[in-house]
Amino acid sequence: MQFDKYNIFRGIEDVILYGAIISQECAPPEFEETLPESIQEIAVWQISNDTAESSLTYQNISSGFMAELPFESRLSISGRKLTGLDYTARVYDKEEDRKRKNMSFFKMEQELWMRVSGNIGDRLNIDVDYNDASGKKDISLIYKGQHGEFIQEAAFGDISVSFPNAEFTGYSKELFGLKVNTRYKNLELNAFFSETKSMSEIKRFTGNMQLERRIIADTSYVKLKYYSLLRNNETRTIKNGTVEVYADYQKLDPTYNISIPADTVLYDLNGTGVSCIGNFVHLVAGQDYTVDYNTGMLIFKNTLTSNCIIAVNCEFEDGSALGNNPLIIKDMDNIVAVTTELKTFYDLGNLGIIRDNGRGNFLLEIKDLNGNAPSTIEGGKDMPVYPPKTGYRANIAVDFGNDVFNLAQPLHDNLYLKGTSRYKFIAEINMRLRHLYCVPALLRILKKLLLTE
């Protein structure tokens, strides 16, 4: 005969205590007479080794306590004490070495949860939450000073300490300790003494910047993204909010909402006589493109496909329109005489470039393929210079927000007609590092990660 497992005894003692301490100064006159007695009964299981039987007895604990507190004080105390006993045994009718052996286990578990909250007077707040089962041990005592007092705030226990973030520094931690904020006239002093409640990963750096030198070929201009809405020598100003842009993607998708009748003939903006018809979709400003109304420049959010057709229309400040129908600024074959593409934008190739402070933290210059600085560009054009130097006009604009620079005029014709490279741009930039490397072992137990810039 074999008994796999059975419980001889299992007992649980559960005691729940509730109480409150109230200042006698705010109690009614009959406070002492109406105060009820506080008696807790604890059930205790007793085990007899001889009979393995249990009996229940009761023990009385003395009545609760009272404490005299200042006026306008209130404390609420609640808690629970849990004790669990577990006895397990396994008995075989015939034991065998290393196979069947009688065993017995006795286990006792205890849990304590206590919560104290309230205030003493009108300045001291108390909040204690203790639970040994979950490991929660939150303690908070906060004193709030009145206006004009030297001590404005004093906190003990779980405190939060943070300093304002600067470009390279920032501090915010949850700590256990003492924090004091003081003020005397216009002088403020904040101090804290504590030990951290969590593990920290510290990243040490100097300046949080990195200097990088880059070489950009003249053939690496940004393609199929920047276009002009104006003809050469146009003097009229485009009226804000009047630009309409249409695209024929050379494919008919059922989801497309065709905005221009398919049999409508459109001509090019430059008046070369090139015409086309197609399935044009009306693009959405801010979503598909943006317009710089000061310069008449159209900027697409994404790079266009090489064979798509773009047509535009707009209204000028004098009330006239660009055309009766939209005009083409990019054809399917990207004919030089038709397209109004601006091929003067170059990408600096990174995000987070630090803006030029005028003290040499950003340098940009053009050189020929032999590494020499030319005096003029092929064809007699002015040499692009940044920053402006004596005798030269400012002809390179740098957009530090988008990390691109734009030439005031195109480079040599062979660059755009034949793709021939003649020059290169040399850029020395400072950029912010945006990578945080953390200890792998720390990430497994990480409870809170704070990143600041």
Q: What tens digit of pLDDT does each residue of 372-423 get? A: 989 888 888 888 888 876 656 668 999 988 899 999 999 988 898 888 999 9
Q: What is the pLDDT of residue 127?
A: 82
Residue 89 φ/ψ, nearest 5 degrees: -140, 150
Q: Is the dihedral of CA 374, 376, 379, 385 positive or negative?
A: positive
Residue 120 φ/ψ, nearest 5 degrees: -115, 115
pLDDT at 200 over 70: no
Q: What tens digit of pLDDT does each residue of 272-319 get? A: 999 999 889 999 999 999 999 999 999 999 999 999 999 999 999 999
Q: What tens digit of pLDDT does each residue of 327-338 get? A: 999 999 999 999
pLDDT at 49 over 50: no
Q: What is the pLDDT of residue 401?
A: 85
Nearest to 364 by CA among 381, 340, 347: 347
What is each CA distance from 373 to 370, 413, 414, in whole angstroms? 9, 19, 19
What is each CA distance from 7 to 48, 55, 85, 155, in whole angstroms? 15, 17, 11, 50
The whole-angstrom separation of Cα 198 and Cα 200 is 6
Quick one: CA torsion of 299, 432, 196, 130, rounded to 10 degrees? Answer: 10
Q: What is the pLDDT of residue 98?
A: 66
Q: Which of 12 and 154 is assigned the larger pLDDT?
A: 154
Q: What is the pLDDT of residue 334?
A: 93
Q: Which of 84 and 223 is assigned the larger pLDDT?
A: 223
Q: What is the pLDDT of residue 171?
A: 58
Q: What is the pLDDT of residue 164?
A: 56
Whether the CB-CB separation of 76 and 69 falls below 8 Å is answered with no
Average pLDDT over residues 104-132: 81
Q: What is the pLDDT of residue 27?
A: 39
Whether the CB-CB separation of 343 and 332 falls below 8 Å is answered with no
Q: Which of 30 and 192 is assigned the larger pLDDT?
A: 192
Q: Work out whether strand 396-399 and strand 327-330 pair parallel, antiparallel, or are unpaired.
A: unpaired
The whole-model pTM stands at 0.52
pLDDT at 120 over 70: yes
Mean pLDDT of the chain: 75
Q: What tens digit of pLDDT does each residue of 150-164 get? A: 887 887 777 666 655
Q: What tens digit of pLDDT does each residue of 320-365 get? A: 999 899 999 999 999 999 999 999 999 998 667 888 888 888 999 9
Q: What is the pLDDT of residue 36?
A: 42
pLDDT at 114 over 80: yes
